[in-house]
Amino acid sequence: MATEAQGEEGGLVFHPMDQFIVKPLFGDGPVGLFTITNVTLWMAITVVAVIALMVLGTSGRATIPGRMQSIGELAYGFIYKMVEDVAGKDAVAFFPYIMTLFMFIVFANFLGLVPMSFTTTSHFAVTVLLALLVFVTVTVVGFVKNGAAFLGLFWVSSAPLALRPVLAVIEIISYFVRPVSHSIRLAGNLMAGHAVIKVFAGFAAIAAVSPLSVVAITAMYGLEVLVSFIQAYVFTILTCVYLKDALHPSH
Amino acid sequence: MEGELAHIGAGLAAIGSGAAAIGVGTVAGNFLSGALRNPSAAAGQTATLFIGIAFAEALGIFSFLVALLLMFAV
Amino acid sequence: MATETTGATASTCVVDGSAVGMPQLCFDWWPNQIFWLTVTLVVIFFVLSRIALPRIAAVLAERKGTITNDLAAAEDLKAKAVEAEEAYNKALADARAQAQEIIAEAKAEIQADLDDATAKADAEIAAKLAESEKKIAEIRESAMDSVKEVAKDTAKELVAAMGGKADGRTVTSAVNARMKG
């Protein structure tokens, strides 16, 4: 997150979106399907971090856990309890899947906070794929487990009969808006925070404002640390909520 | 001229962020007042709190997105 | 990621090193990101589901087992302690009862001894009392006689001194009458 403002033409020039540029790590070629880019690099670091915590950290299998193992077990217990409480006991089969989503998002978010890093989860390409994965999984699971009864999700049987078609339309729309809000929430939060930090950093070029700017960056950074975790949590818990709808579609 | 209008639109869209802030504040405030009345039930409802905040915040994020689109994509 | 060299990046989304519009909406980059995201998710999923999660589950189960065992052992020890306390209390009560018995016995014995001694002493005292009374009576008797003698003699002498002839019998009866009075 280098300072962006340059004194060209005498005014401040902000490029808050430049930090999200995808570019090849080696050379200047076009970004193709298999090109190794900064996305690759930071996703690889995410994978390494997840492995370090969940595999290397727990390699001791200690009955009395050390620091790393404690964190790993904490994450495990946190998500396991969430799946069990929110989605129900029969959703435990999906626990590794949800755990994968959570670990990836939380590590990608936190790694994105490392200065000069690239935030993979701030890209719609990433979050839309994640949200679509959840959406498709939930829909498929819903139809496989309940058959046509899954459509009962849209037919609110507790409402008066005359209202039901209207409600069905609303329910269907809200069902299909789910992946949109699910993905945009995550990417938007991350992007907003990083862009705002960048804009504040741009103001640091003015000597009179720079102390204020540094304070503002620090405050935003603290907020972003919070947001990073909360967004991962929210993404995961919403996945659990959707999964609950798929497993128990009755309202 | 069109670019300037887009910037004005972006500024107007940013008002939505403030509206979302009101929404999030309402959710959190009501949760807090409920939690203070019945602290024993509060722990079980934190998940609901975060879901509520997430929904309220999502709409603010939408307005932010509109602002960004107007700023950079139009 | 900020300062891009002004090299010709082969994308319409970047001009002179800065993003044109939102990089998020540059669809040239989407296939690349989606591909690498898929790879990442698959790797994380397999690492988690094959290695990490079963391991953590095993560790947690083992710990739970250990804790349960320890708790059971603690429960056992507690029961034992309660048992020991009961035994101790019983022994204490027994000892108390025994002591009570011994005390009662000793008390009875002492009482018996005391009664014996008291009775003996009472008898002795009674005997001595009787003897003393007898002696006193004797003494009184003899004293009475002596007084009579002395009175008679004195009366005779007195009468003689006054010039009369004292009749022994009259004097004796007079003295006797006086003594009774």
- Whether A73 and C52 lie within 8 Å, measured CB to CB: no
- C10 found inside a domain: no
For residue C2, pLDDT over 50 is answered with no
Nearest-angstrom CA–CA distance, C112 and C106: 10
Those residues of chain B whose CB sits closer than 8 Å to some CB in chain A are 47, 50-51, 53-55, 57-58, 61-62, 64-65, 68, 72
Residue A230 forms contact with B (CB below 8 Å): yes
Parts of chain A with a pLDDT under 70: 1-13, 250-251
Nearest-angstrom CA–CA distance, C52 and A96: 10
- C101 found inside a domain: yes
| C-alpha of A97 from chain center | 14
Nearest-angstrom CA–CA distance, C31 and C124: 133
What's the pLDDT band for C98 if we cut at 50, 70, 90? very high
pLDDT tens, residue by residue, C112-124: 999 999 999 999 9
Domain containing C151 equals: 29-175
Cβ neighbours for C176, distance < 8 A, ≥ 6 positions apart = C148
Q: C126 vs B71, which has greater pLDDT? A: C126
Smallest CA-to-CA distance from A130 within A112, A108, A150 is with A108
Per-residue model confidence (pLDDT) at position A14: 74
- C6 found inside a domain: no
Cβ neighbours for C7, distance < 8 A, ≥ 6 positions apart = A28
Contact in structure between A129 and C37 (CB atoms under 8 Å) = yes
For residue C23, pLDDT over 90 is answered with no
Contact in structure between C4 and A2 (CB atoms under 8 Å) = no
- ipTM score here? 0.86
Amino acid in position C153: D
Unique residue bearing structure tokens 């972003």: A224
Nearest-angstrom CA–CA distance, A198 and A16: 5
Number of structural domains chain C divides into: 1
Percentage of chain C exceeding pLDDT 90: 50
Q: A78: which chain B residues are within 8 Å (Cβ-Cβ)?
A: none
Unique residue bearing structure tokens 């007898």: C134
- C116 found inside a domain: yes
Per-residue model confidence (pLDDT) at position A51: 92
pLDDT tens, residue by residue, B14-26: 898 889 999 999 9
Per-residue model confidence (pLDDT) at position C115: 93
Q: A250 vs C161, which has greater pLDDT? A: C161
Backbone angle region of A160, left / alpha / beta, with phi > 0 → left and psi within -120 to 50 → alpha: beta
Per-residue model confidence (pLDDT) at position A65: 84
Per-residue model confidence (pLDDT) at position C125: 93
pLDDT tens, residue by residue, C65-92: 999 999 999 999 999 999 999 999 999 9
Domain containing B67 equals: 2-73
Number of structural domains chain B divides into: 1
Per-residue model confidence (pLDDT) at position A103: 93
Per-residue model confidence (pLDDT) at position C87: 95
CATH number for B51: 1.20.20.10
What's the pLDDT band for C155 if we cut at 50, 70, 90? confident
Q: pTM for the full model?
A: 0.74
Contact in structure between A38 and A118 (CB atoms under 8 Å) = yes
Chain B residue with CA closest to C22: the answer is B72
Nearest-angstrom CA–CA distance, C4 and A15: 11
Q: B68 vs A212, which has greater pLDDT? A: A212
Bridge partners of C18? Answer: C15
Residue A184 forms contact with B (CB below 8 Å): yes
Distances from the Cα of C50 to the Cαs of A55, A163, C124, in angstroms? 10, 48, 110
Residue C53 forms contact with A (CB below 8 Å): yes
Contact in structure between C61 and A61 (CB atoms under 8 Å) = no
For residue B52, pLDDT over 90 is answered with no
CA distance B4 to chain C (A): 15
- C17 found inside a domain: no
Chain C residue with CA closest to A101: the answer is C41
C-facing residues of A in 171-210 (CB < 8 A) are: 187, 191
